[in-house]
Structure 1
Amino acid sequence: MKRRSLLLGAAGAAILGLGGSVFARQQLWNPCHAALPPAIAGHDIVRAAWDGIDAAQVWDCHAHLAGIGDGGSGIRINPRMLSPLHPTEYLQRLFYLNAGCAHQAPGRVDQSYLERLHNLADGMQPGFKLLLFAFEQTHDRGGRPHPELTAFHVPNHHARDVARAHPAYFEWACSIHPLREDCVEALEEAAQDGARAVKWLPPTMGIDPAAPACDRFYRALARLDLPLISHAGEEKAVHGAGEAGWGNPLRLRRALDHGVRVVVAHCASLGDDQDEDRGQHGPRVPSFSLFARLMGEARYEGRLFGDISAITLRNRQLSTLRQLIERDDWHPRLLFGTDYPLPGILPLVSLRRLAVEHMLSEAAVPVLETLREHNPLLFDLVLKRQLRAGHQRLAASIFETRRFFDRKPA
């Protein structure tokens, strides 16, 4: 059993872009504990996380729905993720569903994932909500879907129905490919059904954000005042059929120039991209530096934002995390998100590393270690409220995201 755990750990490390030794030192699987121990629930560090913020304004703007489609949800996953013959995709599924505490019992996977989400949200302060993402299929340049190239698909109707069934806990974001023939009609329908945003992962879904063919979709987004939450930078979690360069933050300029409010997921904090501002053969530079360049362009104030999901993961540079904390001029344009279920994958965040670098107090480490085994949503919030760079912390306003999703249609 020990040898099997180490092998799984090494495989998981490769999948998630981490060193295999991480798993030799830390628990691999999420134990999925339920209610917080009273000593943790009432701990000063946990209670202080809510000081100075209005919980009713705190929406986690980056949370994923997941499952295998066994509950009538319409979720579909690529058959490769169900086969040990494809170990990378197979283990990805195991890690993500374990992080979401989804039972493997036949017919219970989709429902148990939702039950866990509901329980975690119930463990937050009253008024807290999650923005749950639909996830579009991969499409080709002609706007035709390719389920065989799609890692997983969460249809809009599933995200909508979950939010409708539990409006005290959930909102939803649609996901629509801009080259679909019916993309504008689908967007208008989603907006009417209460969608708060649009979610894209361009390289995975086969979307080039800089393509002129996206213009009609951008015009509709601007008219409806629905923000676009788009991944930028390197993608580790989901593979697809598009070009890696389509995740370049600079390629989102086309949406911004159409007046779309764009949220760059994770602030493009991982990987590097070609500096297209320096020509077709521009050098490769950190994706985060391109995000920073866009943030520095005055014409994009009020349009360009970043979410802080995944910024504490072990595969991010600490210098990037420090800059996000120190740049208080950016704080009004940053939005709290967790990238759930990733906070439930225990080895992804090294609390000790953050403490050694004086970005987290030593006293907070054991509290957070226990907290993430019970409620990874609360863990992510408390961690980010505890982070510091010198005397600087992330502003309380970053966590009050609700107003950002109030629409003002043209």
Structure 2
Amino acid sequence: GKFGIMAFDFFHDEQGHPNRELSTFHVPNEYVMTIAKKNPDIFFPIISIHPYREDATTALRHYAQQGVRFVKWLPNSMGIHPASETMQDKLVPYYRIMKEYDMVLISHTGVEVATEAEEFQRFGNPLLLKKPLDMGVKIVMAHVASLGECEKQEETLCPPGTPYIDLAIQMLEDPKYAGLVFADISALTQYNRHHNLDKVLSKPSIHSRLINGSDYPLPAINIVIQTRSLVSSDHINSEERAALNEIYDYNPLLFDFVLKRTLRHSKTGKKFPPSVFVEHPDLPTG
């Protein structure tokens, strides 16, 4: 398989204006397109186009016609409400183009802590993605919404205190969204998320909807994935930890992959099936 490399758009307000001060970082679409074109056997491009942009649908169609099939959003950080009633004139045409070209939206779900997002954390509620799903758009819920829970201001969507990950799992199990909704397991091994590993490992009903993701470059930040904690939680053993740490010193991206192939449910010993780590038959190949 190939590696997907992601662009990352600016935060935009509802008038479609970019706000650099509220944008933690920016990776231009043409940058990832250039890298992918130079290395087509290694990479495929994942573009990022904010739907509130004045040129959003034009840009989306432009890249779709070049064969791009994946789009990245981080709603909490970019200021995107995926089901906003007041932004339907922007969102609906955007989703229609995605459906027309069989494009896949890779959208962060759950609370975001790596980038500026505090004011818009509720935009990470996975239930908001039902709008594009109901229009036939394929969605990959990044991180299986493994951080955060419904707040009081979201009580019309879900009871306050409901873990976002439970909502994501319900969507993955919903036969209505078979062939449309998926989730990646990126970030699940990070120290602030790995308490949810057992919840995902214990649900074989959703494993056919899971794909691998690295959340790179975060695995290369040593403190983010703590193998000692994973031993303490019985997801790996001490011997495996020693081997994994040695791999980490050589290649953090390889470490991330081997760790996910190695870890197991703390009680039952169940692992992620091999299908999680190969190209998914229901998703474009990039």
TM-score by length of 1: 0.65
CA spacing shift, 1:288–1:197, aligned 2, 3 Å: same
1:371 equivalent in alignment to 2:247: yes
1:400 equivalent in alignment to 2:278: yes
Matches within 5 A, 1:186-197: 186-197=59-70
Contact kept, 8 Å, 1:352 with 1:365, in 2: the verdict is yes
Task: Give, in angstroms, the shift of residue 386 of structure 1.
Answer: 0.5
Encode CA deviations 1:361-397: one digit per residue, 9 max, x unaligned: 2211111111112111110111011011123110000
Which residue in 2 is equivalent to 1:137? Answer: 10
CA spacing shift, 1:407–1:247, aligned 2, 3 Å: same
Query: CA–CA distance in 2 between the matches of 1:325 and 1:230?
Result: 21
Match of residue 56, structure 2, among 180, 183, 187: 183
Task: Give, in angstroms, the shift of residue 275 of structure 1.
Answer: 7.9
Query: CA–CA distance in 1 between the matches of 2:218 and 2:114?
Result: 9
Which residue in 1 is equivalent to 2:226? Answer: 350
Larger radius of gyration: 1
Match of residue 386, structure 1, among 245, 258, 262: 262
Contact kept, 8 Å, 1:131 with 1:171, in 2: the verdict is yes
Contact kept, 8 Å, 2:142 with 2:185, in 1: the verdict is yes
Query: CA–CA distance in 2 between the matches of 1:378 and 1:174?
Result: 24
SS of equivalent to 2:183 = strand
**Percent of aligned positions that are identical:** 38
Encode CA deviations 1:300-320: one digit per residue, 9 max, x unaligned: 1111110000000000142x2
Which residue in 2 is equivalent to 1:288? Answer: 165
Query: CA–CA distance in 2 between the matches of 1:277 and 1:346?
Result: 35
Query: CA–CA distance in 1 between the matches of 2:58 and 2:118?
Result: 25
Contact kept, 8 Å, 1:207 with 1:242, in 2: the verdict is no
Which residue in 2 is equivalent to 1:206? Answer: 79
SS of equivalent to 1:243 = helix
Encode CA deviations 1:182-241: one digit per residue, 9 max, x unaligned: 211111111223323000000211110012241111111111111000001110101048
Which residue in 2 is equivalent to 1:230? Answer: 107
Query: CA–CA distance in 1 between the matches of 2:71 and 2:200?
Result: 24
Contact kept, 8 Å, 1:150 with 1:240, in 2: the verdict is no
Query: CA–CA distance in 2 between the matches of 1:404 and 1:356?
Result: 36
Match of residue 304, structure 1, among 142, 161, 181: 181
Query: Structure 1: any 5+ residue segments left out of the alignment?
Result: 1-56, 58-128
- The Cα RMSD (Å) is 2.0
Question: Number of aligned pairs?
Answer: 280
Query: Structure 2: any 5+ residue segments left out of the alignment?
Result: none
Task: Give, in angstroms, the shift of residue 296 of structure 1.
Answer: 2.7
Task: Give, in angstroms, the shift of residue 277 of structure 1.
Answer: 8.4
Counterpart AA for 1:367: A
Counterpart AA for 2:135: H
Query: CA–CA distance in 2 between the matches of 1:260 and 1:164?
Result: 26
Contact kept, 8 Å, 1:138 with 1:240, in 2: the verdict is no
